[in-house]
Amino acid sequence: MLSVILTAVIRNLAAKSGFVAKPSADRHHRTIVPLGGGIAIFSTLAIVIAGAMAAVKIFAGGGYLNWLGESVTIHTAGFLEKIDQLVILLLCMLVLFVLGLRDDKKHLGPFLKLAVQFAVATAAAWFAEIRVEFFIENKIITTGLSAVWIVLIINVFNFLDNMDGASAGIAVITSSILFSAAALSGQVFVGGLALVFAGTLLGFLVFNFPPAKIFMGDAGSLVVGFMVAVLTLRTTYYHEGESGQWYAVFMPLVVMAVPLYDFISVTVLRLSQGKSPFAGDTQHFSHRLKKRGLSETQTVLTLYLATLCTGLGAAFLNQVNAAGAVLILIQTIMVLVIIAILETTTQNDKSSD
């Protein structure tokens, strides 16, 4: 509800102040649309997370939260131990938000944005322990690998922000699947963060689903990508002692299969045409689907369904045997092949009876 209210307020303010996205050759929209959705997204996340930290910090010590019951208060000590990490998380989000907001207004160069993204990703991995540690104990190596993954996912969702509702909707689906994995692993802290994130984006989607009444801009897409990356790295997929379950570590790749397909395919297309991979255009696979006759709403719903298909399969990776894992992998590949067929098939002319 906070996200809905903030998005509505910022939409009106953006329209009045001229903070808008205008139609251009490298954009799909053909009308003037207010920007600033990223402000609502970041503000909602910051208010809720900071509010939770303040509430627990102030009231937990005096026993003022006891009325919530032991099922809640049993986690307060663990939450207090995570506050330093949450502060770092918020600071990283703030830097990316400011970077994106600046880019929305002044169009910064790609190398400056990448440099800041790597700095933020490295800080998050090193100081907030947002990093992968599976089978690797060297902190420098895990920090480097995690930073690369975080920057990759940031740009994946930045690329996905090319059609109404695409980036936010797919982020809701992926974060919901990751929430299920966190819940199965008993990760209350990570699961709660995923729910806050999904709820924030659902509030924004009220105004961003086709036809969009507001765009998130880079101020939103960079934060969204960062949060998805954080959830993928902090969720526990592998449970030591459960033999035959190690392939659950591939869950993030399966969950992210559709977004990664868009990122890789459009990057290859641009490079093959001698363009910069960071140059904006209308060659994303959402645009390619739309050119095959789908409406914008149909295109976005197709992306949602494809992401949900791969995500649901990923949710069972930690419960199946090797044969089941292979079947989930095959299903994921088949979903991507279906997308490839749809986006490369030309419309046939109607023939007479």
Grade residue 352 by pLDDT with cuts at 50, 70 and 90: very low
Which range, 89-98, 184-193, 237-246, has the best average confidence (pLDDT)?
Answer: 89-98
Q: How far apart are CA 321 and CA 245, in angstroms?
A: 7
Q: How far apart are CA 111 and CA 155, in angstroms?
A: 13
Asked, for residue 351, whether it belongs to a domain, the answer is no
Asked, for residue 353, whether it belongs to a domain, the answer is no
Q: Is the pLDDT of residue 324 over 80?
A: yes
Distances (CA, A) of 292 to 273, 298, 323, 339: 21, 11, 36, 12
Number of domains in the chain: 1
Q: How far apart are CA 146 and CA 138, in angstroms?
A: 12
Q: How far apart are CA 197 and CA 175, in angstroms?
A: 8
The pLDDT > 70 percentage for the chain reads: 91
pLDDT at 243: 44
Reported pTM:
0.91
Domain of 317? 2-344
Is the distance from CB of 182 to CB of 248 less than 8 angstroms?
no
Q: How far apart are CA 213 and CA 204, in angstroms?
A: 10
Alpha-helical regions (H) of the chain: 2-17, 37-59, 70-73, 76-81, 83-106, 110-127, 139-160, 166-184, 188-208, 217-234, 251-255, 257-272, 285-290, 296-314, 322-344
Q: What is the mean pLDDT of residues 142-163?
A: 94
pLDDT at 201: 98
Helix or strand holding residue 34 (H, E): strand 33-34
Q: pLDDT averaged over the chain?
A: 88
Is the distance from CB of 34 to CB of 15 less than 8 angstroms?
yes
**What is the tens place of the pLDDT at every residue in 49-79?**
999 999 888 877 667 677 777 777 788 888 8
Q: How far apart are CA 96 and CA 218, in angstroms?
A: 9
Bridge partners, 21 (sequence order): 33
Q: How far apart are CA 146 and CA 141, in angstroms?
A: 8
pLDDT at 143: 95
Cis before 110? omega within 30: no
User: Could you say which DSSP state residue 321 is in?
Assistant: -
Q: How far apart are CA 311 and CA 256, in angstroms?
A: 8
Distances (CA, A) of 347 to 195, 232, 293, 339: 41, 38, 7, 15
**What is the tens place of the pLDDT at every residue in 174-221?**
999 999 989 988 888 999 999 999 999 999 999 999 999 999 999 999
